[in-house]
């Protein structure tokens, strides 16, 4: 790997669950039939004919022939992911993204293509405030200019307006300002799903920092949340909580227990839908996991008071839950003092230190500090 000039970021990329995610997305080219390969190449060539870069003409047919040659060689090589070289990753990203767009088309195909392109940004790009840059260098199979032209055509097919700059040893493809934010918002569901996978390499300053920056970029734009269908019929007050991150919405049930615990929940037999909704919650800062329960196949998401009130949760979501509590108070379902205590939690956000929360009691002499987690209560801290 040293001969490839790879940075530490690639050691992260090629291990664990993130590596599996990359492999699943980028290995599909090996399964294409001859007819499908031809259709994808034709689609790429057609897209290149519509692109002009810096006033210069492209040669779509020549690029199409290069891709066709590479696709013909790939099934015979079938490299292991640990030796999946940088240029092959780039070509796989391009081919599989174009394949999605050339196939069924439509918004779902576009979303999947964005998810594939995201791996290229995390592996071979940089993320700054309102700027996303891809670095494309030369290789044995294709020049930097040719690969950059393909990236440019792909980004334009996806609705972005990239800028290209040629340097001595590489070509830079940049999305500035609104274009960068647009890409971050489009990639938000995938970013939220990737974040827990990369938790184990949080100290790495490469991939993980890009995920965090892009999530922040996307969340800063548009997050909405509101309560609907509030009712006090039945045993306890309940409603529907809608959470929306840049147009990607998910709906959940929310209820108030007799113990005054607030609970958000969702259940389904469709795991993919459960994972999608959990990803939306994670995108707005809620720690949400999907769990399988019961004898039959059912998937559930359950989030309770402190996780919903955590300071990491987007303010719009906390305000929506506070509105639910206000309606519970107006309906007489909760005492005034309890309402004020809970509402204050959601207004200011509950601080968290890892997975440990603390309660503090101030007495005349010593100050005692203890964890509310039974597993970490001893020893008590005395100040």
Q: pLDDT-based confidence at 82, cuts 50/70/90? A: very low
Are 88 and 69 in a shared domain?
yes
| Mean pLDDT of all residues in 288-312 | 87
* b/e burial code for range 277-316 (CB count within 10 A of at least 16 → b): bbbbbbbbbbbbebeeeeeeeebebbbebebbbbeebbeb
**Span 184-230, pLDDT tens digits:** 888 887 777 766 656 655 555 567 778 777 877 776 657 889 999 99
Residues 318 and 376 reside in one and the same domain: no
How many domains are there within the chain? 3
Task: Note whether 338 and 260 are within 8 A (CB).
Answer: yes
Res 354: pLDDT? 43
What mean pLDDT do residues 321-344 have?
94
State which residues form the domain around 283.
223-352
Residues whose CB falls within 8 Å of the CB of residue 264, separated by 6 or more in sequence, listed in order: 241, 252, 253, 254, 301, 302, 303, 304, 308
What average pLDDT does range 318-337 have in this prediction? 94
Q: Are residues 83 and 151 in the same domain?
A: yes
- Residue 2: the pLDDT is 27
User: Across residues 148-159, what is the average pLDDT?
Assistant: 88
Instruction: Mark whether 161 and 198 lie in a shared domain.
Output: yes
CB of 162 closer than 8 Å to CB of 124: no
Q: Please enumerate in sequence order all residues whose Cβ is within 8 A of that of 268, keeping only pairs 6 or more positions apart, or say none.
A: 274, 298, 299
Q: Which residues of 93-129 are buried (b: 16+ CB within 10 A; e: fewer)?
A: bbbbbbbbbbeeeeeebbbbbbbbbbbbbbbbbbbee
Task: Give the DSSP per-residue string, 135-191.
Answer: EEE--SSS-HHHHHHHHHHHHHHTT---EEEE-SSEEEEEEEHHHHHHHHHHTHHHH
Domain shared by 72 and 122, yes or no: yes
Shared-domain flag, residues 382 and 268: no
What is the pLDDT at residue 176? 82
- The answer to whether residues 232 and 145 belong to one domain is no
Distances (CA, A) of 162 to 126, 267, 332: 15, 41, 56
**Distance from C-alpha of 359 to C-alpha of 347, rounded to nearest angstrom:** 18
Mean pLDDT computed over every residue of the chain: 77
User: Is residue 240 a contact partner of residue 233, using CB atoms and an 8 Å limit?
Assistant: no
Q: Who contacts 379 (Cβ-Cβ below 8 Å, separation ≥6)?
A: none
pLDDT attached to residue 241: 97
DSSP character string of 266-306: EEES-HHHHHHHHHHHHHTT-----EEETTTTEEEEEEEHH
Query: Where is the domain boundary, 218, 247, 281?
Result: 218
Measured between alpha carbons, how far is 223 from 188 in angstroms, rounded to an integer? Answer: 11
Note whether 161 and 238 are same-domain residues.
Answer: no
C-alpha 4/C-alpha 87 separation (Å) is 10
For residues 237 and 153, membership in a common domain is answered with no
Looking at the structure, tell me whether residues 175 and 242 fall in a common domain. no
- What confidence tens digit (pLDDT) does each residue in 32-81 have? 777 888 888 888 888 787 766 555 566 788 888 877 777 776 655 544 44
Most confident of 110-124, 149-163, 316-330: 316-330
Residues 276 and 128 in one domain: no
Both 204 and 70 in a single domain? yes
**pLDDT for residue 142 is more than 70:** yes
C-beta of residue 324 within 8 angstroms of C-beta of residue 224: no
Q: Is 55 left (phi over 0), alpha (psi -120 to 50) or beta?
A: left
Contact assessment for residue 142 and residue 91, using Cβ atoms and an 8 Å cutoff: yes
């Amino acid at each position: 790997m040293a001969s490839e000039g790879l940075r530490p970021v690639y050691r992260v990329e090629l291990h664990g669950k993130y590596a599996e995610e990359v492999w699943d997305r980028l290995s599909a080219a090996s399964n294409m039939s001859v007819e499908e390969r031809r259709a994808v190449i034709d689609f790429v060539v057609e897209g290149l004919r519509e692109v002009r870069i810096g006033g210069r003409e492209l040669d779509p047919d020549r690029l199409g022939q290069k891709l066709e040659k590479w696709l013909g060689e790939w099934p015979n090589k079938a490299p292991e992911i640990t030796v999946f070289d940088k240029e092959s990753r780039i070509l796989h990203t391009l081919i599989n993204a174009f394949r999605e767009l050339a196939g069924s088309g439509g918004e779902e195909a576009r979303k999947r293509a964005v998810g594939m392109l995201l791996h290229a940004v995390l592996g071979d790009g940089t993320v700054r405030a309102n700027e996303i840059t891809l670095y494309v260098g030369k290789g044995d199979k294709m020049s930097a200019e040719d690969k950059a032209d393909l990236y440019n055509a792909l980004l334009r097919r996806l609705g972005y307006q990239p800028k290209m700059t040629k340097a001595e040893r590489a070509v830079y493809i940049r999305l500035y300002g609104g274009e960068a934010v647009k890409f971050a918002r489009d990639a938000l569901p995938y970013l939220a799903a990737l974040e827990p996978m990369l938790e184990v390499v949080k100290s790495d300053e490469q991939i993980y920092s890009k995920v965090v920056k892009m999530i922040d970029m996307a969340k800063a734009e548009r997050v909405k949340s509101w309560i609907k269908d509030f009712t006090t019929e039945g045993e306890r007050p309940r409603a529907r909580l809608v959470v929306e991150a840049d147009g990607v919405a998910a709906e959940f049930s929310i209820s108030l227990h007799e113990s005054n615990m607030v609970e958000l929940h969702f259940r389904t037999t469709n795991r993919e839908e459960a994972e999608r909704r959990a990803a939306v919650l994670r995108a707005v800062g809620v720690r949400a996991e999907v769990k399988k329960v019961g004898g039959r196949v059912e998937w559930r998401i359950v989030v309770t008071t402190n996780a919903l009130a955590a300071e990491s949760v987007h303010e719009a979501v906390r305000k929506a839950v506070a509105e639910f509590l206000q309606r519970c108070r107006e309906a007489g379902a909760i005492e005034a003092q309890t309402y004020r205590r809970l509402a204050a939690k959601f207004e200011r956000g509950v601080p968290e230190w890892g997975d440990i929360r603390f309660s503090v009691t101030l007495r005349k002499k010593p100050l005692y500090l203890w964890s509310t987690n039974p597993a970490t209560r001893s020893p008590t801290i005395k100040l």
